[in-house]
Structure 1
Amino acid sequence: MAEGMDLLATYNLRMAPGLLAFALCLVLLPRAAIGIRIALYIAIFILVRDAMTPTGLWSFDDLRISFFNNPALLATLGISSVLGVVLIVAVERDMRPLLVWRKGSLVEGAAVGLGAGAVIGLGAASISGLSPLLWDFAPGFILALVILVYGGNLLEEVLFRGYLQGRLEAYVTPVRAALLSGLIFAACHSYLAITVTNGGWPILAFTAIEGIACGFVRMRYGIWAAALTHGTAILLVAMPML
């Protein structure tokens, strides 16, 4: 427990200067500058995500992700992401019309979201090689992993499929907006794939497929379904399997 909290403190201290700079930009920027505000929130997310690598919160092996084996830490990160969604939505009142949470049938959306995520996640895990189920994980690791991937990816989907895709739909067709949100999502993983890790093109290819799929799921069923797609895909590439 202590090791995980020390790591969390190191992670927060590492991000602090960047978070302060972004916060000052958001405070000074008029609320009417919606496009720039969306870009700043996405940049903040990239900082938060990519700082996980040098602090040892996760590591990559091809398309497989290994998270730090501390359930309390993982759950804290997931819950913090959900609180981040609540905070952003509360603060950015003028941007709420961009958030299409649900469209069509809730059951159908959940089925499509989970199914698409399963296809993407199992496909990526199979390409990288299914890992053995390791019994030395701390109790509660799988539950904490579920909290992290669905909480963290809800935040990511609110930014990319909520604000960004919603904004793009004011300028292009819904289909093009879905494609663009997916491709921009992949492009925003360039730093992770090229400068932060040595993942290279496989990470970019995976995130392009994942992002475009989430874009079309959001177009048809809304943000909640897209978050299920994203979270399920990441859960399957991160979970040890038989």
Structure 2
Amino acid sequence: MIAEGFTVLLDYAMYLMPGLALFGLWFALTPRTQTGLRILILVLAFVLMRDVMTPLRMWSLNGELQIGFLANPFALALLGGSSLLLVALIARLLPDLWQLVVLFKGNRLIGALVGIVAGCLIGVPLRLYQGAEVAAIPDYWSWLLGMAVLAYGANALEEVLFRGFLQGFLEQHVSALRAALLSALTFSALHAFLALSVTQLGWPILLFTLIEGLACGLVRMRYGVVASTATHGTAILLIAVPMVGL
């Protein structure tokens, strides 16, 4: 399981390398004064990292918006941990952009609880609609631990980019509410390729990501990026299953 996890991560990194190299060069040659463009480059690089997971069979989607992930919990934990490492590197190497990130606002405990509840409001109805019988899925509970690391770790990176950098940047130019709405629309729009080409599942993915983006944007507006990460991670964790049998 451990060897397989490292192999998955290595294959994924090698597959991504040419595209990420181009994004890295684009970012390096972009003047630091072009904050909006630099954020866009980072966001698009993340979209590449996310969407190539589908052809590599690292995750899958079906018509009920059930997300299947690798059945190897160690591989999932590696991916989630690597995402957290990227967040730390971004904070270290890009301090001018990191200052846009509002990690906490207001009461931290309440923010975390609100984030989790918002994630449950998104994920629980879909879980009930899917009717997934977790008791029938082999090794589901051991898999869930690795999935939790991925759900919150990978979505911490996504939230830093969309609700940290993008929403924080937009708040310097428009109202906080409009910035939240714009970050949600951008978030959903950048799932269009995944929805209409990679998976061909269409509007259900766009509607789900718009609702999810609105929830995360509003939670971030009131409580910060850590709370919006709780929203995003909880929603994904609730609708995820191992890819066994999908």
Give the structure-1-normalised TM-score: 0.95
**Residue 93 (str. 1) matches residue 95 (str. 2):** yes
Offset from partner CA, 1:78-104 (integer Å, 9 cap, x none): 000000111111111111221111000
SS in 2 for 1:66: strand
Gaps of 5+ in 1: none
1:143 matched residue in structure 2: 145
1:216 counterpart (215, 218, 222): 218
Percent identity of paired positions between Structure 1 and Structure 2: 49
Shift of 1:33: 1.5
| Root-mean-square deviation over aligned CA pairs | 1.4
Say whether 1:19 aligns with 2:20.
Answer: yes
Shift of 1:239: 4.2
Most deviating of 112-121 and 86-95: 86-95
The runs of 5 or more residues in structure 2 that have no matched partner are none
Distance 1:236 1:139 in 2: 13
**27-36 vs 219-228, which moves further:** 27-36
Q: Output the amino acid matched with 1:5.
A: F
Q: Report Cα offsets for 1:111-166 as digits up to 9, x if no partner.
A: 11000000101122233x22111342377311100000000000000000000001
Over residues 165-213 of structure 1, what are the superposed CA-to-partner deviations in whole Å (9 max), with x where a residue is unaligned?
Answer: 0111111110111111011100010011111102210010000000011
Structure 2 distance, partners of 1:231, 1:89, is 20
Partner Cα distance (1:29, 1:103) in 2: 31
TM-score when scaled to structure 2?
0.93
Secondary structure of 2:99's aligned partner = helix
The residue that corresponds to 1:36 in the other structure is 37
- Structure 1 residues 129-138 or 151-160, which shifts more? 129-138
Identify which of 109, 116, 119 aligns with 1:117: 119
Number of residue pairs matched by the alignment? 239
Query: 1:125 and 1:139, CA in 2 relative to 1: closer, same or farther beyond 3 A?
Result: closer
